[in-house]
Amino acid sequence: MSARFPTHEVFNQPPPFEDVNLFTSDVALIDAVEREGGGAASGALGVFGQVAGSAEAQERGRLANEHTPKLSTHDRQGRRRDTVTFHPAYHTLMRTSCTEGLHASVWAHLAKKGEARRPGAHVARAGAFYMAAQMEAGHCCPITMTNAAVPVLLQQPDVAAEWLPRILPNTYDPSFAPPGAKTALTLGMGMTEKQGGTDVRAATTKAELVGGGEYRITGHKWFLSAPMSDAFLVLAQAPDGLTCFLMPRFRPDGSVNALHLQRLKDKLGNRSNASAEVEFHGAYARVIGEEGRGVATIIDMVTYTRLDCAVASAGLMRFALANAIHHAEHRSVFDKKLVEQPVMQQVLADMALDVEAAGALAFRLARAFDRAEDPRASAWRRLMTPVTKYWVCKLAPPLAAEAMECLGGNGYVEEAPLARLYREVPVNSIWEGSGNVMALDVARVLQREPAAVQMVMDELLVAAGDDQHLRRAHARLEAMLQEPKLLDARGRALVEALAVLAAATILRAHAPAAVADAFIATRISGDPRQTYGQGLEHADVRAIIARASPSHG
């Protein structure tokens, strides 16, 4: 090559960022998993980190997004088919994550009667999910929905007894066949209709009782992701009000159920994942929970998916930062590596602070799911699920943009993963409760569950210790809580204050001083800023970047 094109010598371009162990190269992740009770899984996470960060897995991620799912509404004789075909890379990604147990590992104890929950199961799963999102984010949608549907199914023991034995195994079966003929099942959900996604009570889809817990559902859903799932948890209006149903793709007699996929959404990102518009033409479904208690029944699913949105967003932020640092470590400008340039150091270190804080909050929340019986953990879970979901998912898009810029022009082209990542990240703050909805949820907890709020505030005060910046931030938050009339309007401010304080207390207690000091100096006590790369001129930016560098392990 060089003989024919003597001028074509490639230099000063970084080596590809691939074949990186996403676990052993991520010091903050290793620490967070250990700290929050998932340390026993470290070995397994190291193995999965190698798989998820391999060049093959990253290439599958690219292929699955470039060759998007295709809907087939009818066969060539005009009969309805309502199937979606995916690129083989998508199925391999699904198989990788299901084999790792990401669709149900926290429920593994249910496979044997009387078995206890596995300690640290949520934190261990969060560790792997954080890396699965970096491998490819779109396929995480059916993975997270299957995991989150389990606690809802448990509310209807006869349905759970039938479905769980095929949901729990660590296998993947993409065939379009009745559940009894499959080795593995995945689940989706249908709540959003054209006239209302947040306000699900506005649902117009009707459910008519057939008998024995069976209903016929007529109506539509405006978003139904992963439409090739084996069944969906769906909300519809029954005679006694909005009710939750399990709607399988096949009827018990083995015929295809009446879900008519109308079209697939043409989405900004998340393109490997299909999201359909669907009509139900008297579709067969089974009731889950009591008629009229649909929202109360399905809310568990939403809580689990909110945890995953935060974990996945934190993982994507980590991947963006790791790419940026990798580039800066290898690229020289004006005879000096970018990572040695003072302004770039400010930018990289500043992003690293948000990445570590986002991970710290997400894994702290996962631990609260592991210790549900402990009242303090349960208070944390109630208040901090919407706080963490809001804050982490909101941080991700600006961080992704800044990380992309660190790669210069290379960041903006599709061959680098950052362009796809940038298009992917906003979805996590839109679905499963958008930003305002999270803020309103927090305001609701503040108004209606004072005991839970007090427990979290007490915990934060103890964690603040004698750090005067943290104590003042805590006092400011307490003062805001004393004005109940303003809670709704101040929803976002409260959420942000809670998130930043909680993250800062975790970093103060557990992260190196360089990280904790700089986070507190810029996010709690520093001058207001609007973009990355400011306020760290007195910080140990080298230490912060060295900790975040993916060149470890």
Ligand X SMILES: Cc1cc2nc3c(=O)[nH]c(=O)nc-3n(C[C@H](O)[C@H](O)[C@H](O)COP(=O)(O)OP(=O)(O)OC[C@H]3O[C@@H](n4cnc5c(N)ncnc54)[C@H](O)[C@@H]3O)c2cc1C
Where along the sequence are the contacts to ligand X (CB under 6 A)? 188-192, 196-198, 223-225, 267, 270, 275, 427, 430-431, 434-437, 440
Is the Cα dihedral 421, 426, 431, 432 positive or negative? positive
154 contacts 147 by C-beta, under 8 angstroms: no
β-pairing, 187-190 vs 231-238, is: parallel
CB of residue 270 to ligand X, shortest distance in Å: 5
For 438, the 3-state DSSP assignment is: helix
Among candidate residues 538, 306, 316, 252, the one with its CA nearest the CA of residue 441 = 306
Contacting residues for 449 by C-beta, under 8 A, at least 6 apart: 379, 382, 383
Nearest distance, CB of residue 236 and ligand X, angstroms: 12
Q: What share of the chain is helix, strand, coil (3-state, %, to 5)?
A: 55, 15, 30
Measured from the CB atom, the residue of 104 and 224 that comes closer to ligand X is 224
Q: Give the phi and the psi of residue 467 in degrees, each rounded to 5.
A: -75, 110
Q: Least CB distance from residue 434 to ligand X, whole Å?
A: 3
Work out how close the CB of 129 gets to ligand X at its nearest, in angstroms, rounded to a whole number: 18
Choice between 176 and 223, CB closer to ligand X: 223
CB of 65 to ligand X, least distance (A): 13
* Cβ closest to ligand X, residue 271 vs residue 469: 271
Token output for 323? 């790419």
Helices of type H across 11-135: 27-35, 42-52, 55-66, 88-99, 121-135
* Residue in the structure block whose two tokens are 């549900």: 372
Q: Closer to ligand X at the Cβ: 120 or 138? A: 138
Nearer to ligand X, 121 or 264 (CB): 264
22, 25, 29, 33: CA torsion to nearest 10: 90
Minimum distance between the CB of residue 96 and ligand X, rounded to whole angstroms?
22
Q: Pick the closest to residue 428 from 322, 312, 319, 320 (CA basis).
A: 312
Of the pair 338, 494, the CB lying nearest ligand X is at 494
Shortest reach from residue 489's CB to ligand X, in Å = 10
Q: Cβ closer to ligand X: 427 or 518?
A: 427
Neighbours of 135 (CB within 10 A): 24
Nearer to ligand X, 440 or 457 (CB): 440
Residue 529 dihedral angles phi and psi, to the nearest 5°: -140, 160
Taking the complex as a whole, how short is the minimal distance between the CB of residue 221 and ligand X, in angstroms?
6
Could you give the residue ranges of the DSSP H alpha helices within 260-341? 294-330
CB 428 within 8 A of CB 309: yes
* Residue whose C-beta lies closest to ligand X: 197
* Calculated CA dihedral for residues 13, 18, 22, 27, nearest 10 degrees: -30
Given the complex with ligand X, which of 42 and 434 has the nearer CB atom?
A: 434
Tell me how far, at minimum, the Cβ of 225 lies from ligand X, in Å: 3
Q: What is the biggest distance separating any 2 CA atoms in the chain, rounded to whole angstroms?
A: 79
- 150 vs 338, which CB is nearer to ligand X? 150
Cβ 103 vs Cβ 167: under 8 Å: yes
Q: Which helix (H) or strand (E) holds 542?
A: helix 541-548
Please report how close the Cβ of residue 233 comes to ligand X at its closest, in angstroms: 9
CB of 162 vs ligand X, minimal distance in Å: 23
Which CB atom, from 446 or from 516, has the smaller least distance to ligand X? Answer: 446
Q: Are 257 and 286 in contact (CB under 8 A)?
A: no
In angstroms, the CA 525 to CA 183 distance is 55
